[in-house]
């Protein structure tokens, strides 16, 4: 019996061991916390599921959860809207740390569009969206730099290192000759500027790229629309305090190689007529700070309950530039309050932004020029301790110029907006938005009695002051209706918009003051006023814009998508016969993946083709171009009385209207590998008609000899490609990479019609400045904007003089050059742009690397054109580039007078390792005060691969003379940043 019992117990033991081997350990409870992998912030409401079971829970306000798992072999799936789902094996763990990465390819991601939002998967137009976690990190000037190199077709450049300079931004090329090419910027629906809100206070930036997306904004949307959404709290969560701070230092990105004092003397000994004053002065260093230091502090408070929530933000920046007295101090305050009432049927939003900025008024880039060309053996002071000046053409003491100038600019901007959204009935909502934006600024500048303007021009102290004020009122009322029935879904929108803008300024200048103590504050004390030599000017510009608009979005079975919109708009800027215009748009998309023949093809996650057409307008900045303008003419004697005559300086034009841009766009969105790899391709063609241009007209019948009329036609074509790839998604390691590429070609089609014609089939623009005194660009009808036009240098003679290519293609001396010998020498607008973004995360570490480049363009290097010359007549006191003594074409040194020839036009192609950021999320054990802590180090403008010999190939690309790298400039810098982000 005992043997039988023992055998039975042994059998049970074996069965138990087998069961444990088959089903694992018994059920137990596992806890965890879910956070954002980038910021470390807790994620409330994340869904936590035990794989292959019905056991589900969600994370609380602190991101914490608790769930029962059946065994130690269980796998937990964590999902959150907009994030990549992560599967975590339990494997004996009692506490799970889950870090979710944003899903950049999610079709459910919400994208901001004109007057509303849409799911990414429902878009029918070309729209790009960049969220906060994908922004450029570190030292950022404004909102545009947050998305630099991340949006295909959007050029964001930083051609100046000044702390007061902003970014240049351009979408899909140049589309006008006279109007602005800057996109419309809306901050939470209210017009603004890229620097109106702190970059650290922005949640997302959406870009409406094509005409079908932007047409609902009429004349304001022709250059694209940038929709900035500030950070908000949804309510119902715990209070959060976040402090983001960083400090930066700068160095010049690249310094041109001018002669130092020893080299200056050595070349003097070799027979060059350099004047040696016996000293060793680095003039660039004298005007520069040893280590420019900048700091930014951003403090955010968020809290509330289910009815009322708030976000308050304080941002302070104190940025120093490379040069002395170059500074930008700015304080920005923002408060956003949301209140829900009547069971959520009525929602109220109040938003206030106040920005105060004090800066140096803009560094005088002429000082930089003087710092590089001044004799390095010359002295700063004379024997009596006064500034050393010499009576030489364009030769000034840069430190004296800087220190004897007092300049300041003060700006105060206040943005107030309020909205009420009411749910009138099921699916029917109405929204009223009112906003007021006011800005006031004062700029003052004075030059002391020791300034070169006194020593050379006898001004005896010079001062000026200007003030300006602007006011922008906005009222918008919209009604939207959403209805779903069967496979049909309709979203309709109708609205009214009224905008009233007013701008005015006043400026006065005077000189010959009794003392320097007045600075720019007692301008009436200058004697020039009594002599009638002082100057004064004032200006006012006001306009009104009224719009009625509507849009219908239709979705059938998530397969066929259609959107149509129209805006009827009236503007006070235009002539009496053309006050109103109509701007229609239509776009459609086909979700091919949802068709039966692709539904079961698992390799394809989504496939959508799009097409759109839209019409937008361009309005000039001047509100009075359609009206006659008069100025005083000559005086004449009539019956013994002197009469002041009036002369017209502008013809009336009752037919003046907006430039009209028609755009067609074809696109395809494809994602595979369960959405891990996605690509978006857009092909577009923009045609601007009725482009404004000045035409010569006879007098009479016209009052004045020129008129601004709507005649011109311009085209832009291009391709844009964006590829996103979640290459690796593991618990402790992930790698996301994104590549974008775009092309653009431009052509001026026509400038004439039956009524107005140009006198030539081209016009010239741009300028070299003294002493060359030549234009730099020519725009031909049938050709692109940006063509350099000048003499093509092909050789150099034995005397160091240029030999150019004549009109007949044969060589000829430069001294015999004629205008007809000039040729197209290149183009200053890049044909191709590319960007490559990478983010790698390993446990608590993350590394992001941004690279970008531009290709297929040329740059006119002004510094080489003026200072790469060993002609004896320009030496003496002037410093020159070391390369001035190189042999040209391997033959001899250049002695030709300074000239604009192709030798100074260089290939501008570049590839930048632009931003590198390394961050670490510090592990905090049971700290009830600090929720998360992240520290990071960042470098901006780190390395440039280029053949260009200037400071930086990222030069000016705006206007009609792009690619000119002027000698008067503020050099770009390389920035190193150390920061911390604390969440309480």
Q: 516: buried, middle or exposed (CB in 10 Å: 19+, 13-18, 0-12)?
A: middle
Is 28-100's fold the same as 110-230's? no
**Please, are residues 301 and 311 in contact by the beta-carbon 8 Å criterion?**
yes
Q: Which of 238, 235, 232 is nearest to 110 (CA)?
A: 232
Distances (CA, A) of 354 to 196, 333, 466: 9, 5, 22
pLDDT at 579: 93
Q: Which of 917, 910, 875 is nearest to 895 (CA)?
A: 875
Q: What is the pLDDT of residues 523-564, one digit of tens each?
A: 999 999 989 899 999 999 999 999 999 999 999 999 999 999
CATH topology of domain 28-100: Immunoglobulin-like (2.60.40)
Q: Specify whether the backbone of 175 is left (phi greater than 0), alpha (psi in -120 to 50) or beta.
A: alpha
Tokens of 704: 């004045």
**Please, are residues 611 and 667 in contact by the beta-carbon 8 Å criterion?**
yes
Tokens of 145: 């730099």
User: Between 580 and 106, whose confidence is greater?
Assistant: 580
Query: How sure is the predictor about 147, in pLDDT bands with cuts at 50, 70 and 90?
Result: very high
Q: What is the pLDDT of residues 350-390, one digit of tens each?
A: 999 999 999 987 667 889 999 999 999 999 999 999 999 88
For every residue of 250-280, DSSP letters joined together read: EEES----B--HHHHHHHHHTT------S--
pLDDT at 8: 41
pLDDT at 286: 96
Residue with tokens 């989504």: 606
pLDDT at 1: 43
Helix (H) / strand (E) element for 374: namely none
How many other C-beta atoms are found inside a 10 Å radius of the C-beta of residue 538? 11
Separation of alpha carbons 837 and 134, rounded Å: 9
To the nearest whole percent, how much of the chain has pLDDT over 70?
Answer: 96
* Residue 714 scores a pLDDT above 80: yes
Boundaries of every domain in the chain: 28-100, 110-230
**Please, are residues 541 and 427 in contact by the beta-carbon 8 Å criterion?**
no
In sequence order, the 6+-apart residues with CB closer than 8 A to the CB of 790 are 774, 776, 822, 823, 825, 900, 901, 902, 905
Q: Which of 361, 161, 252 is nearest to 955 (CA)?
A: 161
pLDDT at 5: 42
pLDDT at 107: 60
66-70, 277-281, 414-418, 518-522 — which is least confidently predicted?
Answer: 66-70
Question: Pairing mode, if any, of strands 168-171 and 28-36?
Answer: unpaired
Separation of alpha carbons 297 and 95, rounded Å: 35
* Residue 612 scores a pLDDT above 50: yes
| Dihedral sign, Cα of residue 398, residue 403, residue 407, residue 408 | positive
Separation of alpha carbons 974 and 175, rounded Å: 32
Separation of alpha carbons 294 and 317, rounded Å: 8
Separation of alpha carbons 373 and 376, rounded Å: 8
**Please, are residues 429 and 420 in contact by the beta-carbon 8 Å criterion?**
no
Q: What is the pLDDT of residues 957-974, one digit of tens each?
A: 989 999 999 999 999 999
Number of H-type helices and E-type strands within the chain: 10, 50
pLDDT at 72: 83
Q: Which of 124, 119, 120, 78 is nearest to 101 (CA)?
A: 78
Question: Pairing mode, if any, of strands 629-638 and 641-650?
Answer: antiparallel
Q: What is the mean pLDDT of the chain?
A: 90
* Residue 234 scores a pLDDT above 70: no
Alpha helices of 139-254 — where are they, by DSSP H? 143-146, 211-214
**Please, are residues 324 and 289 in contact by the beta-carbon 8 Å criterion?**
yes
Q: Strands, E, within 426-534: which ranges?
A: 428-447, 462-485, 488-511
* Residue 105 scores a pLDDT above 60: no
Task: Give the mean model confidence (pLDDT) for residues 575-581.
Answer: 92
59 CB-side CA count, 13 A: 29
For every residue of 131-145, DSSP letters joined together read: EGGGSPPSS--SHHH
Beta pairing partners, 203: none
Separation of alpha carbons 63 and 50, rounded Å: 17
860 CB-side CA count, 13 A: 36
Distances (CA, A) of 631 to 252, 875, 899: 47, 46, 39
Residue with tokens 């005559």: 645
Distances (CA, A) of 376 to 681, 759, 950: 54, 50, 21
Q: What is the pLDDT of residues 58-101, one digit of tens each?
A: 888 778 888 888 888 888 888 876 677 788 888 878 888 888 87
* Residue 232 scores a pLDDT above 50: yes
Q: What is the pTM of this model?
A: 0.87
Helix (H) / strand (E) element for 15: namely helix 2-23
Task: Give exposure, 704-715, as e/b (b: 16+ Cβ within 10 Å).
Answer: beebbbbbbbbb
* Residue 490 scores a pLDDT above 50: yes
CA-angle at 787, arms to 781 and 788, nearest 5°:
135
Separation of alpha carbons 124 and 207, rounded Å: 14
To the nearest whole percent, how much of the chain has pLDDT over 90?
Answer: 71
Distances (CA, A) of 539 to 409, 442, 454, 468, 704: 19, 15, 30, 9, 22
Q: What is the pLDDT of residues 814-854, one digit of tens each?
A: 999 999 999 999 999 999 999 999 999 999 999 999 999 99
Separation of alpha carbons 80 and 61, rounded Å: 14
Residue with tokens 């030599």: 533
Tokens of 398: 């840069």
Distances (CA, A) of 386 to 60, 286, 367, 389, 658: 71, 16, 19, 9, 57
Residue with tokens 């308050």: 312
Separation of alpha carbons 267 and 617, rounded Å: 59
pLDDT at 568: 97
Q: Which of 562, 556, 557 is nearest to 588 (CA)?
A: 562
**Please, are residues 177 and 751 in contact by the beta-carbon 8 Å criterion?**
no
Q: What is the pLDDT of residues 117-144, one digit of tens each?
A: 888 889 999 999 999 889 998 899 999 9
Separation of alpha carbons 794 and 888, rounded Å: 11
Separation of alpha carbons 581 and 658, rounded Å: 8
Please give the radius of gyration of the chain, using alpha carbons only, rounded to the nearest integer. 33
Q: Specify whether the backbone of 549 is left (phi greater than 0), alpha (psi in -120 to 50) or beta.
A: beta
151 CB-side CA count, 13 A: 30
pLDDT at 4: 43
Task: Give the mean model confidence (pLDDT) for residues 674-681.
Answer: 93
Alpha helices of 579-738 — where are they, by DSSP H? 596-599
In sequence order, the 6+-apart residues with CB closer than 8 A to the CB of 509 are 462, 463, 464, 465, 523, 534, 535, 536
Query: How sure is the predictor about 271, in pLDDT bands with cuts at 50, 70 and 90?
Result: confident
- Largest Cα span, the chain: 150
Query: How sure is the predictor about 41, in pLDDT bands with cuts at 50, 70 and 90?
Result: confident
The CATH number assigned to the domain with range 110-230 reads 2.170.130.10
Q: Which of 789, 857, 974, 951 is nearest to 365 (CA)?
A: 951
* Residue 697 scores a pLDDT above 90: yes
In sequence order, the 6+-apart residues with CB closer than 8 A to the CB of 886 are 893
- What is the DSSP-derived secondary structure letter of residue 399? H
């Amino acid at each position: 019996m005992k043997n039988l019992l023992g055998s039975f117990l042994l059998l049970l033991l074996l069965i138990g061991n087998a069961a444990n081997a088959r089903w694992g350990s018994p059920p137990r409870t596992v806890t965890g916390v879910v956070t954002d992998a980038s910021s470390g912030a807790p994620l409330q409401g994340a869904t936590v599921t035990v794989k292959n079971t019905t056991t589900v829970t969600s994370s609380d306000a602190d991101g914490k959860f608790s769930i029962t798992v059946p065994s130690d072999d269980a796998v937990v799936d964590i999902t959150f809207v907009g994030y990549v789902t992560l599967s975590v094996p339990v494997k004996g763990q009692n506490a799970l740390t889950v870090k979710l990465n944003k899903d950049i390819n999610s079709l459910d991601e919400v994208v901001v569009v004109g007057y509303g939002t849409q799911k990414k998967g429902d878009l029918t137009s070309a729209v790009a969206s960049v969220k906060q976690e994908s922004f450029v990190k570190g030292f950022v000037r404004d909102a545009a730099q947050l998305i630099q190199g991340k949006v295909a077709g959007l050029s964001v450049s930083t051609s100046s290192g000044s702390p007061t300079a902003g970014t240049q931004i351009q979408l899909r090329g140049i589309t006008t000759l006279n109007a602005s090419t800057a996109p419309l910027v809306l901050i939470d629906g209210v017009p603004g500027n890229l620097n109106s809100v702190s970059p650290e206070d922005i949640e997302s930036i959406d870009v409406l790229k094509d005409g079908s997306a932007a047409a609902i904004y009429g004349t304001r949307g022709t250059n694209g629309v940038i929709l900035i959404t500030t950070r908000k709290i949804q309510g119902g969560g715990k209070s959060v305090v976040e402090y983001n701070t960083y400090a930066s230092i700068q160095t010049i990105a690249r310094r041109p190689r001018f002669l130092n004092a020893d080299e200056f003397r050595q070349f003097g000994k070799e027979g060059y007529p350099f004047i040696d004053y016996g000293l060793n002065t680095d003039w660039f260093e004298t005007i520069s700070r040893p280590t420019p230091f900048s700091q930014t502090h951003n403090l955010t408070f968020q809290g509330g309950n289910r009815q009322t929530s708030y976000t308050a933000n304080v941002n302070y920046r104190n940025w120093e530039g490379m040069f002395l007295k170059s500074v930008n101090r700015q304080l920005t305050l923002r408060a956003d309050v949301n209140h829900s009432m009547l069971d959520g049927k009525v929602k109220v939003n109040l938003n206030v932004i106040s920005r105060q900025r004090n800066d140096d008024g803009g560094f005088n880039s002429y000082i930089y020029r003087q710092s590089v060309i001044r004799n390095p053996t010359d002295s700063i002071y004379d024997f009596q301790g006064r500034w050393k000046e010499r009576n030489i053409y364009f030769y000034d003491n840069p430190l004296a110029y800087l220190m004897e100038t007092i300049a300041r600019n003060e700006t105060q901007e206040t943005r107030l907006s309020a909205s009420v959204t009411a749910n009138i009935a099921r699916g029917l909502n109405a929204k009223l938005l009112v906003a007021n934006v006011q800005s006031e600024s004062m700029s003052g500048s004075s030059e002391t009695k020791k300034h070169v303007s006194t020593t050379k021009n006898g001004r005896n102290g010079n001062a000026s002051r200007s003030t300006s004020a602007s006011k922008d009122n906005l009222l918008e009322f919209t009604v939207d209706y959403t209805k779903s029935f069967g496979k049909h879904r309709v979203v309709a929108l109708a609205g009214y918009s009224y905008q009233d803008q007013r701008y005015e300024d006043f400026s006065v200048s005077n000189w010959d003051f009794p003392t320097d103590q007045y600075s720019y504050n007692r301008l009436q004390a200058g004697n020039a006023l009594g002599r009638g030599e002082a100057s004064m000017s004032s200006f006012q510009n006001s306009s009104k814009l009224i719009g009625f608009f509507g849009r219908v979005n239709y979705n059938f079975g998530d397969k066929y998508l259609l959107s149509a919109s129209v805006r009827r708009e009236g503007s006070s800027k235009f002539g009496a016969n053309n006050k109103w215009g109509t701007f229609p748009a239509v776009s459609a998309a086909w979700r091919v993946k949802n068709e039966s023949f692709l539904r079961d093809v698992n390799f394809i996650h989504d496939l959508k083709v799009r097409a759109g057409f839209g019409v937008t307008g361009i309005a000039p900045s001047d509100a009075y171009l359609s009206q006659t303008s008069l100025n005083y003419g000559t005086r004449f004697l009539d019956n013994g009385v002197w009469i002041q005559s009036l002369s017209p300086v502008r013809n009336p034009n009752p037919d003046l209207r907006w430039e009209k841009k028609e755009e067609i766009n074809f696109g395809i969105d494809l994602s595979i590998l369960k959405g891990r790899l996605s690509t978006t391709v857009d092909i577009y063609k923009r045609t601007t008609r009725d482009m404004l241009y000045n035409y010569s007209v006879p007098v009479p019948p016209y009052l004045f000899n020129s008129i601004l009329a709507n005649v011109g036609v311009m085209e832009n074509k291009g391709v844009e490609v964006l590829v996103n790839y979640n290459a690796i998604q593991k618990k402790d390691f992930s790698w996301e990479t994104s590549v974008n590429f775009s092309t653009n070609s431009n052509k001026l089609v026509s400038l004439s019609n039956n009524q107005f014609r140009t006198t030539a089939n081209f016009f010239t623009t741009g300028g070299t400045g003294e002493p060359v005194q030549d234009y730099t660009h020519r725009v031909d009808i049938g050709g692109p904007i940006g063509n350099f036009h000048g003499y093509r240098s092909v050789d150099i003679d034995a005397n160091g003089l240029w030999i150019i290519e004549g009109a007949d293609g044969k060589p000829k001396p430069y001294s015999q050059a004629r205008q007809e010998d000039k040729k197209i020498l290149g183009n200053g607008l890049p044909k191709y742009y590319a960007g490559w973004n990478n983010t790698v995360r390993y446990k608590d570490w993350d590394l992001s690397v941004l690279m970008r480049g531009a290709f297929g363009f040329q740059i006119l290097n002004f510094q080489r054109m003026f200072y790469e010359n060993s002609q004896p007549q320009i030496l003496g006191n002037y410093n020159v580039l070391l390369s001035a003594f190189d042999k040209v074409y391997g033959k001899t040194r250049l002695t030709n007078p300074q000239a604009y020839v192709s030798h100074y036009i260089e290939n501008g192609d570049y590839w930048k390792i632009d931003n590198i950021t390394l961050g670490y999320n510090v592990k905090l054990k049971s700290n009830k005060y600090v929720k998360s802590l992240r520290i990071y180090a960042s470098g901006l403008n780190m390395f440039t691969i280029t053949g260009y010999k200037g400071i930086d190939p990222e030069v000016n690309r705006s206007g009609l003379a792009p690619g000119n790298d002027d000698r008067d400039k503020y050099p770009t810098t390389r920035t190193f940043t150390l920061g911390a982000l604390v969440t309480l």
